[in-house]
Each structure stands twice: as C-alpha cells, then as structure tokens.
C-alpha cells in the first residue's frame, strides 16, 4: 500500500509495522484459534444451498447462520470479486464511484447502479442505510494482524458490528495466492458455480509461469512500485503487499527501500519529495492505479518526466488492492510479464 490511505492506517494505529438503533438480534459468531482452516472444509461446501451456512475467516472467527446469506454488504473490492463468481451483494462501502459518476477501478465489472453505496470514501459509512438493508453478513479485507475491517470507520464500528456478523479476508503480509484461495472458498460457500471459474484459475497459473520466465530472462531489470500525490512520491517495498510479495517470489527484481526509510509509512513505503524522486534507479515503474492517487499521465513534475523509465515509456499500472478473483488478477501478471519481456536497461 503506497499512498495516503496507508497514512490513515498509521495515524489510526491500525498498522503497527494499516444514537442507539433498533438493530435487532445479533447473529452469533464464535472465536477459533486456527485462522488458516476454513473455506470449503469449513462450510459444508454449500451442498444444501438453503441450509445452514458456516464460514471461518482469517481472524479465526467462525460465522454461523441458519441459511446462506442473501443480504450481503461488502467492501467494494470484495463485492467486485464476488461479482466475478456470480454472487451479487446488496450494498457496498469503499471507493465505488468516481467524481464523474463512473465506476471506480476497484468496482471491477459490477453495475454500481444496482448496489446501495453506503460509503464511497475513507471514514464514510451510513449506518442507517446499512441497517435498512437488513444485512446478513458484512465482508471486508483486513490489512493488519488485529483483523481490523478495511473501510469500516473506527467511530461507528461498534454500531455496525451489532447489525450483522462480519467476515474478514486477510491481505496482510502474504502472497496474493492466499487471499485468492480464500475468496474462492468464500464464493463457493455462498453458492457460486466454481466450475465456471476454473478457466480463470488456469489462466492465472499460466500467467504466473510466464512472469516467472520473464523475470528469469531479465534479472538485471529493476522494478519500482510507486504512488503519486501532489506533494509526495511513495516507493513501496515488497514486504506486506500481497501482489509485490508474490511477484518477488516469482523472481521479479524490485527496488527495496530500507526498513528505516519505511518507518513513517508503517513499514509499507518510503515517502520522497518530488525533488528526490530520482533516488532509486528503476528500469520499470509500476504506478498505483487507485482513484485516490495521481495517475502517470497527469503528473506534471519535471523531475518525474526526467526519470529514465518514464522517458523510455516503461511505466505500467499496479493495483495495490487487487480485486481478489482469478479473472481480475490474470492481467496483473500478464502486464508485468509483458513489461519485463519488452524492457530495456535504462537506469
């Protein structure tokens, strides 16, 4: 994570190293000490689609309902992943609409006109709208070991928790294959037709093989993961980020800011002034594609334009919060593989 959102996390203490309502009965949830078991094995595999539903999430919490949840409210990126598996949610929170009313990049292929948007920016979550949806379950990601639900505001989290149980998929300090598997298991538990998604999983594996081969063929090519704001440029290290950790494991040669330089960013990134944006010599720059950041085409800083990778046209997009379906993650691998295959040593 390499932009202002991580600043929110460190300020709120989420990452150390991210009026009473008539709410009705609280659905039971019990703790479990083994967060790594779950998914297909923890759910009865949705065999009886009208029967009880159980899912153990990455906090080690087991949620049990009398039936498979129909009224699902989810973080936008999670909702987009479930959409790819054929699961429709009722409400979303998180970046969903851009300022011109179009679907945010994190909304994926969802039709955002068919979901209730109960929060579109950080710290925005309309509890009354959420209650009106009569949610069966809330699903989000978590960027820390504490299981903090991403984009659920600290100030209203207790009210929100009384409405419905929650499920968390961890995207903290692991390779992307782990949350992809968990989202697959979650979708399967919700009744998705996983046979229809099998092709995307195969394409992901093929793309991973291609990226590994490209990295092996071009070990001298250095890649930098960046993110832009008006005042600062952020350089992400591979540690903690699910995409970068996986790409590194496949052999991609990343620029790694020292841990001391990443301290201010909670261990995620180093902040550079635009005057010092040339601190690291990169052959390829991967730039944060989220709408909260400045996109490469809109960066007017002279120091940016002088970077060798920029002058060579070796700048590609990066999704620091990937939509966790195999279909959406295939292009992430293919784009980086193609960039490596075509890259020239310019730094």
Query: Tell me: the pLDDT tens digits for 122-144?
Result: 999 999 999 999 999 999 999 99
**Bigger pLDDT: 28 vs 169:** 169
User: Residue 55: its pLDDT value, please?
Assistant: 98
Spatial distance between the Cα atoms of 287 and 303, rounded to a whole number of angstroms: 16
Greatest Cα-to-Cα distance within the chain, rounded to the nearest angstrom: 63
Strand order in the sheet with 29-31: 29-31, 61-65, 53-56
Spatial distance between the Cα atoms of 184 and 268, rounded to a whole number of angstroms: 27
Q: Are strands 53-56 and 61-65 parallel, antiparallel or unpaired?
A: antiparallel
Entry pTM: 0.86
Q: Which residues contact 213 (CB under 8 A, 6 or more apart)?
A: 337
Q: Which residues contact 276 (CB under 8 A, 6 or more apart)?
A: none
Sorting pLDDT into bands at 50, 70 and 90, what band is 51?
confident
The full length of the chain comes to 347
Residue 44 has pLDDT above 60, yes or no: no
Spatial distance between the Cα atoms of 168 and 57, rounded to a whole number of angstroms: 6
Residue 16 has pLDDT above 90, yes or no: no
Give SS3 for 179: helix
Whole-number Cα distances in Å, 53 to 104, 180, 189:
31, 21, 8
Q: Residue 306 burial (CB < 10 Å; 0-12/13-18/19+)?
A: exposed
CA-based Rg of the chain, rounded to a whole angstrom?
20
Strand order in the sheet with 166-170: 116-119, 91-93, 72-75, 137-142, 166-170
Single out the residue of 78, 206, 191, 201 nearest to residue 142, CA to CA. 78
User: Residue 49: its pLDDT value, please?
Assistant: 59
User: Residue 85: its pLDDT value, please?
Assistant: 98
The structure tokens 């594996």 sit at 205
């Amino acid at each position: 994570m390499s932009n202002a959102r991580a600043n929110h996390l460190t300020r709120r203490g989420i990452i150390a190293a991210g009026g009473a309502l008539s709410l009705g009965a609280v659905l039971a949830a019990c703790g479990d000490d083994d967060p790594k078991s779950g998914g297909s094995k923890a759910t009865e595999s949705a065999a009886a689609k009208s029967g009880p539903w159980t899912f153990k999430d990455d906090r080690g919490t087991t949620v049990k309902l009398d039936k498979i949840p129909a009224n699902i409210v989810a973080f936008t990126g999670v909702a987009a992943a479930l959409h790819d598996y054929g699961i429709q949610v009722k409400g979303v929170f998180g970046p969903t609409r851009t300022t011109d009313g179009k679907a945010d990049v994190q909304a994926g292929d969802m039709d955002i006109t068919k979901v209730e948007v109960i929060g579109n920016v950080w710290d925005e979550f309309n509890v009354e709208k959420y209650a009106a949806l009569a949610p069966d379950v809330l699903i989000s990601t978590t960027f820390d070991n504490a299981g903090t639900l991403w984009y659920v505001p600290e100030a209203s989290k207790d009210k929100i928790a009384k409405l419905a149980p929650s499920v968390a998929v961890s995207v903290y300090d692991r390779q992307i294959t782990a949350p992809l598997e968990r989202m697959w298991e979650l979708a399967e538990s919700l009744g998705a037709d996983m046979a229809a998604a099998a092709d995307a999983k195969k394409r992901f594996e093929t793309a991973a093989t291609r990226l590994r081969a490209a990295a092996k063929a071009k070990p001298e090519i250095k890649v930098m993961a960046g993110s832009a704001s008006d005042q600062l440029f952020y350089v992400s290290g591979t540690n903690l980020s699910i995409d970068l950790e996986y790409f590194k494991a496949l052999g991609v040669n990343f620029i790694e800011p020292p841990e001391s330089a990443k301290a201010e960013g909670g261990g995620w990134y180093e902040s550079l002034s635009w005057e010092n944006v040339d601190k690291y010599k990169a052959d390829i720059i991967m730039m944060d594609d989220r709408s909260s950041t400045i996109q490469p085409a809109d960066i007017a800083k002279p120091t940016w334009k002088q970077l060798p990778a920029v002058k060579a046209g070796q700048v590609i997009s990066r999704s620091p919060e990937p939509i966790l379906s195999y279909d959406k993650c295939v292009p992430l691998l293919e784009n980086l593989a193609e960039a490596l295959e075509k890259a020239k040593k310019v730094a």
